[in-house]
A and B are shown apart, each in its own frame.
Chain A
Amino acid sequence: MRFDASILVDYWPLLAEGAWLTLRITIAAFALGYLAGIAVALLAILPGRLPRLMASVYIETLRNIPFIIILFVVYYGLPFSGVRLPATLVGTAALALFASAYYAEIVRAAILALPRGQFESARVVGMSPAQAMWHVVAPQVLRTLVPPSTNMTLTMMKESAVLSSVTVPELTYQSLIVQGNTFAPFEVFAAVAAIYWLIAIGIAEASRRLERRVGAAQAASVSANPIAARYLSLDARRPS
């Protein structure tokens, strides 16, 4: 089997268009999903049983159903209740809905892990409440938020491929069209996988920069203990 690059030369505008839409859908669903996630997280930490119960039903339901089914339920359920919207809009909303449950869980955990003493200590050394929030609390919460949020955003970006099954013309949809026209699955899917891979690397890199700005979390090193390193580390030995 050989790799026929001419197919990609002919069809790259379709794939580029799809990649651009995938990127825009990911960004929109991230913004929408995170806002909804924060709202649900706040609901989850309210005093009282009812709000907490509502939040956990929301989170558990969305987390235990495959995204493709959430998407179909939203896609077929909206027209059912009289709302007709373009597929791309519905798909993005469904993706945001799906991601919001995970973001809610991330935000909730970060808020609960927040050490109260930090805020109080900052106040004691003479900071105003706003200064204490901005200089002491926020950087620490942000630090715990960044890695899991990045992971979830990567997962969501990859799940956006499922939108192809409701005719949203994103990257996977375009790749299926090109594959249908050319019968060259190897070239098409290799190219599409590479594009997704690049987007994922881009998101991971952006997050790494953000993480460096907010201060890297202390990595637990398996130390200089050679026996521990032999079994408990998968990274190549570094000359010390």
Chain B
Amino acid sequence: MGFKFEYLLSILPDLALAALVNVRLAAVIIAIALMLGTMLTVLRSLKLRPVNAVVAIVISFVRGTPLLIQIFIAYYVLPAVGLDLTPEVAGIAAISFNSMVFVSESMRGGLASIDPGPLEAATALGLRPPVIWWKVVLPQLFRRIAPVLINEATIVVKGTALLSVITVVDVLRTAQQMASSSYRPFETLVGAALVFLVVNLAISLAGKTAEARFAATRM
């Protein structure tokens, strides 16, 4: 039984359809992670010692444990404390939380490279800190860390494949279901791999185009 190329071609449309599930989940997760990550960063900048101590532990935990375990915790442990989430919602919660931390850490790295001049000017003009954050710091920061955020987006897309383990019917699970009826796991999995490759290359390409546009407007 050789590799059946026609079979691979015949399942690609269905796999692409299933990929919409991954793309939809990833979009929701990225939006949540960007929002919460930004809020977390501003919170950390207030430098409240007890708050930052707790945040440091949370960050260390999220960065030190596998995403898969974090997904299991959302899926198996949260119901035990009365939060009965559907697999999709549990998955979104786990990956968003994980990505929020990585977004905030990228922002922390980006902040160190920002020129303090405009901030001094804004402070001298008497702008209030929330305004300075919103109008001066964040626009520069997002522009600066855009490549990192694009990379994080591809990581989130890849992370959604793990949700197949908690029964979300995504590309991977669809591929496995096809394999269980056709007994051709190799073709279906290669198909799933191709679908992810296309989605993530498209994201990277879109990111590069947007960056070039950004760079042009700044000059």
Contact = CB atoms under 8 A, between A and B. Distances in A.
The yes or no verdict on A and B being binding partners is yes
Contacts of B3: 80
21 contacts: A64-B204, A66-B161, A68-B164, A73-B190, A76-B179, A76-B186, A77-B190, A80-B3, A161-B68, A172-B69, A185-B76, A186-B77, A189-B73, A193-B73, A197-B64, A201-B60, A228-B116, A233-B112, A234-B45, A234-B47, A235-B47
B76 A189 contact: yes
Interface of B: 1, 3, 41, 44-45, 47, 49, 52, 60-61, 63-70, 72-73, 76-77, 80-81, 108, 111-114, 116, 119-120, 123, 129, 132-133, 137, 154, 158-159, 161-162, 164-165, 172, 179, 185-186, 189-190, 192-193, 196-197, 200-201, 204
A67 B159 CA distance: 9
B199 to A, nearest CB: 8
A192 B189 CA distance: 29
B191 to A, nearest CB: 10
Q: State the main secondary structure of chain A at its contact with B.
A: helix
Nearest to A198: B64
Nearest to B120: A227
Contact of B162 (A68, A186, A189, A225): A68
A128 interface: no
B68, B158, B162, B201, most chain A CB atoms within 10 A = B68
A76 B196 contact: no
Given A67-B158, A220-B113, A234-B47, 8 more contacts: A61-B197, A176-B72, A190-B77, A193-B65, A197-B61, A220-B112, A222-B112, A234-B108
A232 B110 CA distance: 9
Q: Which 4 A-B pairs have the closest CB atoms?
A: A228-B116, A200-B64, A185-B76, A161-B66
Nearest to B116: A228
Contact of B159 (A66, A186, A201, A232): A66
A67 B66 CA distance: 13
A65 B66 contact: no
Interface string A30-48: 0000000000000000000
A96 interface: no
Contacts of A233: 45, 111-112
Contact of A65 (B44, B49, B158, B159): B158
Contacts of A69: 161, 172, 189, 192-193, 196
A232 B111 contact: yes
Contacts of B186: 73, 76-77, 80
A190 B172 CA distance: 28
Contacts of A76: 179, 185-186, 189
A49 interface: no
Given A232-B116, A234-B45, A236-B49, A165 B154 contact: no
B96 to A, nearest CB: 17
Nearest to B122: A227
A154, A160, A227, most chain B CB atoms within 10 A = A227
Interface in A183-240: 185-186, 189-190, 192-193, 196-197, 200-201, 220, 222, 225, 227-228, 230-237
Contacts of B189: 69, 72-73, 76-77
A173 to B, nearest CB: 11
Contact of A189 (B60, B64, B69, B161): B69
A175 B66 CA distance: 13
B66 A172 contact: yes
Contacts of B80: 1, 185-186
A6 B135 CA distance: 54
A234 B1 CA distance: 58
B72 A185 contact: yes
B4 to A, nearest CB: 11
